[in-house]
Structure 1
Amino acid sequence: MATPSNFVDLQAGFYNALVQGLGYSNQDPFQIIQPSPPLPGGDDADDLLWAYLNNLPVASLTQNTQFSGGNQFLADYQGVMSALQSAPNNFQSTIGPTCWAAYQQALKDHEVKTGAVAFRNWALYCQPCSAVATSGASALAAAMLDPIFAAQMNVTPYKPVGDEPVTFSPGYSKMLTLLKKAPSRSFEVSASNWQTDVSKTWTQGSNKGFFGLWGGSSSSSSISGKFASGGVSVKASFDNVLPFNATPGDWYGSSAFGMAFNNPGKAPWMSNNPINWDTTFGKNGNMQRFSSSLLIANKMNISVVSAAQYSQGEQSQIQSNQGNGLWPFYCSGSSGGSSTSASFDKDGGMTVTITSKANVPIVIGCIVLTAGQYLGHEALASKRLIEEFYS
């Protein structure tokens, strides 16, 4: 137990406090997500929620979504599917090159869904394909029995190959229903009672990409250093916290992806392809980790008291930047679902207050699984984490 000496220690201490406050152990694969803008609903509610699941996490205790490495589940998965060889079939030869090109374009343009029946119904009214509508449907039905071919066809309509956005199930509406029934959580840390040792966490202490005192600031800036080392206490409560689990939509084929994972350096991987097992699942691969569940909070109330004494100039600087969100969650409040404010006492001490409205979800973290765990090789680990949460 100690007072953090710098912002790195403060962030580590907050990680330990949050993990414990949510009912986990700091050896569980929990990751803080920052910044945390509210998800107020609306036409793009599903897309905003699913974007968190589509983002592939780095090996860090903190995931800064603005500093993301750019690895996205759907796009990287499409790359894997393009590097796999499906079992021989006669669908393409049956329909011929002209009809094949028309069918591929129709999939991308959402004029037809995948599957034999959909192909036949579409082909009957498509000039280059009408003559092979029935024979092509039969050949496609046989080809779709191969999980790799089926996966390659099913992912074609989705971005960036097609125009369809990434999907997961369930969506925002179901999530909000579950969130309202989830348990409350709270924790409190005094200025001299921080646990900053994160060496035994799932990243062995690796923590990178987080901001400083306000969103977009550096954790090594002088004002961030003053804040972190001057004595910080935190009191946090959440009316509800939900571990939200969702599965990829029709674009994803777990059988094909599992075959790719379980066969390093051999079929179904194509030989001499720049996308291979090592570039995907290896030490420097782009699909080593997945967000298996999101930790979503409802009606958040956080008070952060800093004992450091801030000059009038520093106070003005902090207040002018509070619109970017302040530590620890950097809720900018741009959508109106949350509020962040900084006030100062006569001695220059600061109190930061962060609140979010009822039924306006805030994503505050996620559970990270390795590719093997995500594919079900260690599914009990995820089940155990959820059971611990609700115990």
Structure 2
Amino acid sequence: MATPSNFVDLQAGFYNALAQGLGYSNQDPFQVIQPSPPLTGGDDSDALLWAYLNNMPVASLTQNTQFTGGNQYLADYQGVMSALQSAPNNFQSTIGPTCWDAYQTALKDKDVKTGAVAFRNWALYCDPCSAVATSGASALAAAMLDPIFAAQMNVTPYKPAGTEAVTFSPGYAKMLALLKKAPSRSFEVSASNWKTDVSKTWTQGSTTGFFGLWGGSSSSSSISEKFASGGVSVKASFDNVLPFNATPGDWYSSAAFGMAFNNPDKAPWTPKNPITWDTTFGNNGNMQRFASSLLIANHMNISVVSAAQYSQDEQTQIQSNQGNGLWPFYCSGNSGGSSTNAAFDKDGRMTVTITSKANVPVVIGCIVLAASQYLGHEVQASKILTGQFYN
């Protein structure tokens, strides 16, 4: 137990406190997600929720979603499918090159769904394909029995190759219904009672990308260091916290993906392709880890008391930046689902209050699984509660 001496220690202490408060040990593959804008619903509610699952986690105790947007599940998965070779079939030769090109374009533009029946119904009214509608459907039905070929066809309509956005199931409405029934959670840490040792966590303490006192600030800035080392206490409560599990949509094939993972450096991988098992699942691969479940909070109330004394200029600087969100979740409040307020007493000591509205979900963390565990998700799920990961 100690008072953090810098922002790195404070963030480590917060990680331990939040994990324990949510019912996990620091042996579990738990990751804090920051910043955490509320999911206020609306036409894009599913897309905003699924974006967290589409993001590939880095090996860090903290995931900053503003820094990790370039590595996406769907796009990386499409790359893998393009690097696999399917079993020989005569579908393309049966329909011919002109019809094949028309069919690929129709798939990408969502003018036709995958599958033999859909192909036949579409081909009957497509000039390049009408003569091969029946024979092509039969050939396609046979080809789709191969999981690699089926996976390659099923992912074709999705971005960036096609126009369909990434999907998972269930979506926002089901998540919100489950969230309202989830248990409450809370924790409290005094200024001198932080547990800052994260050396035995699933990353052996590695953590990167977190902000300083406010969203977008540096954790090594003078005002952030003053905040972190001056004595910080936190009291947090959540009316509900839900471990939300969702599975990839029709674009994903566990059979094909599993075959790719279980056969390094051999079929179904295409020889001499720049996308390989190692570039995908290896030590520097882009699909080493997955967000298997999201930790979603409802109606949170966070109180952060800083014992440091802030000058008038520092107070003005903090309050002018509170719209960017303040530590630890950086809820900016731009969407109207949360509020963040910094208040100062006569001695310049600060109290930060962060609240989110009831029934407005906030994603505060996730459970990270290695590729081998993710592909055996059902077997591994029970271990989340027993700390048997990454040992």
Instruction: Report the Cα distance in structure 2 between the residues aligned to 1:37 and 1:18, rounded to whole angstroms.
Output: 18
Instruction: Tell me what 2:12 maps to.
Output: 12
Instruction: Report the Cα distance in structure 1 between the residues aligned to 2:230 and 2:185, rounded to whole angstroms.
Output: 27
Instruction: Report the Cα distance in structure 1 between the residues aligned to 2:382 and 2:46, rounded to whole angstroms.
Output: 25
Does residue 362 in structure 1 map to residue 330 in structure 2? no
Instruction: Report the Cα distance in structure 2 between the residues aligned to 1:382 and 1:58, rounded to whole angstroms.
Output: 20
Q: Percent identity?
A: 87
User: How much has 1:328 moved relative to structure 2?
Assistant: 0.1
Instruction: Report the Cα distance in structure 2 between the residues aligned to 1:379 and 1:289, rounded to whole angstroms.
Output: 16
Instruction: Tell me what 1:24 maps to.
Output: 24
Instruction: Report the Cα distance in structure 1 between the residues aligned to 2:319 and 2:122, rounded to whole angstroms.
Output: 60
User: How much has 1:169 moved relative to structure 2?
Assistant: 0.1
SS at match of 2:335: coil
Q: Deviations over 1:148-192 (max 9, x none)?
A: 000000000000000100000000000000000000000000000
Instruction: Report the Cα distance in structure 2 between the residues aligned to 1:56 and 1:317, rounded to whole angstroms.
Output: 34
Instruction: Report the Cα distance in structure 2 between the residues aligned to 1:150 and 1:365, rounded to whole angstroms.
Output: 34
Instruction: Report the Cα distance in structure 2 between the residues aligned to 1:387 and 1:198, rounded to whole angstroms.
Output: 18
Instruction: Tell me what 1:383 maps to.
Output: 382
User: How much has 1:384 moved relative to structure 2?
Assistant: 3.0
Q: How does 1:67-86 map to 2 (within 5 A)?
A: 67-68=67-68, 70-86=70-86
Instruction: Report the Cα distance in structure 2 between the residues aligned to 1:232 and 1:119, rounded to whole angstroms.
Output: 63
Instruction: Tell me what 1:278 maps to.
Output: 278
Instruction: Tell me what 2:252 maps to.
Output: 252
Q: Look up the equivalent residue of 1:110 and give its one-letter code.
A: K
SS at match of 1:242: strand
Which blocks of at least 5 consecutive residues in structure 1 are unaligned?
none
Which blocks of at least 5 consecutive residues in structure 2 are unaligned?
none
Q: How does 1:20-59 map to 2 (within 5 A)?
A: 20-59=20-59
User: How much has 1:271 moved relative to structure 2?
Assistant: 0.5
Instruction: Report the Cα distance in structure 2 between the residues aligned to 1:286 and 1:181, rounded to whole angstroms.
Output: 36
Instruction: Tell me what 1:137 maps to.
Output: 137
User: How much has 1:385 moved relative to structure 2?
Assistant: 2.0
User: How much has 1:70 moved relative to structure 2?
Assistant: 1.2
SS at match of 1:213: coil
Instruction: Report the Cα distance in structure 2 between the residues aligned to 1:289 and 1:23, rounded to whole angstroms.
Output: 22
Indicate if the aligned counterparts of 2:55 and 2:69 stay in contact, CA closer than 8 A: no
Does residue 268 in structure 1 map to residue 301 in structure 2? no
Q: Look up the equivalent residue of 1:383 and give its one-letter code.
A: S
Instruction: Tell me what 2:328 maps to.
Output: 328
Indicate if the aligned counterparts of 1:243 and 1:386 stay in contact, CA closer than 8 A: no
SS at match of 2:43: coil
Instruction: Report the Cα distance in structure 1 between the residues aligned to 2:4 and 2:366, rounded to whole angstroms.
Output: 25
Instruction: Report the Cα distance in structure 1 between the residues aligned to 2:84 and 2:44, rounded to whole angstroms.
Output: 33
User: How much has 1:379 moved relative to structure 2?
Assistant: 3.8
Instruction: Tell me what 2:214 maps to.
Output: 214
Indicate if the aligned counterparts of 2:62 and 2:209 stay in contact, CA closer than 8 A: yes
Q: Deviations over 1:182-239 (max 9, x none)?
A: 0000000000000000000000000000000000000000000000000000000000
User: How much has 1:69 moved relative to structure 2?
Assistant: 5.7
Indicate if the aligned counterparts of 1:215 and 1:325 stay in contact, CA closer than 8 A: yes
Instruction: Report the Cα distance in structure 2 between the residues aligned to 1:30 and 1:246, rounded to whole angstroms.
Output: 17
Instruction: Report the Cα distance in structure 1 between the residues aligned to 2:6 and 2:68, rounded to whole angstroms.
Output: 24
RMSD: 0.9
Residues 273, 60 of structure 1: alpha-carbon distance in 2 compared, 3 angstrom cutoff:
same
Instruction: Report the Cα distance in structure 1 between the residues aligned to 2:88 and 2:383, rounded to whole angstroms.
Output: 41
Instruction: Report the Cα distance in structure 2 between the residues aligned to 1:364 and 1:215, rounded to whole angstroms.
Output: 15
Indicate if the aligned counterparts of 1:303 and 1:354 stay in contact, CA closer than 8 A: yes
Instruction: Report the Cα distance in structure 2 between the residues aligned to 1:83 and 1:141, rounded to whole angstroms.
Output: 22
Indicate if the aligned counterparts of 2:24 and 2:385 stay in contact, CA closer than 8 A: no
Q: Deviations over 1:317-374 (max 9, x none)?
A: 0000000000000000000000000000000000000000000000000000000001
SS at match of 1:367: strand
Q: TM-score, normalized by length of structure 1?
A: 0.98
Instruction: Report the Cα distance in structure 1 between the residues aligned to 2:379 and 2:342, rounded to whole angstroms.
Output: 43
Q: How does 1:200-211 map to 2 (within 5 A)?
A: 200-211=200-211
How many corresponding residue pairs?
387
Instruction: Tell me what 1:178 maps to.
Output: 178
Instruction: Tell me what 1:299 maps to.
Output: 299
Indicate if the aligned counterparts of 2:56 and 2:72 stay in contact, CA closer than 8 A: yes
Indicate if the aligned counterparts of 2:75 and 2:160 stay in contact, CA closer than 8 A: yes
SS at match of 1:372: helix
Instruction: Report the Cα distance in structure 2 between the residues aligned to 1:300 and 1:367, rounded to whole angstroms.
Output: 20
Does residue 88 in structure 1 map to residue 96 in structure 2? no
Q: TM-score, normalized by length of structure 2?
A: 0.98
SS at match of 1:201: coil
Instruction: Tell me what 1:230 maps to.
Output: 230
SS at match of 2:66: helix
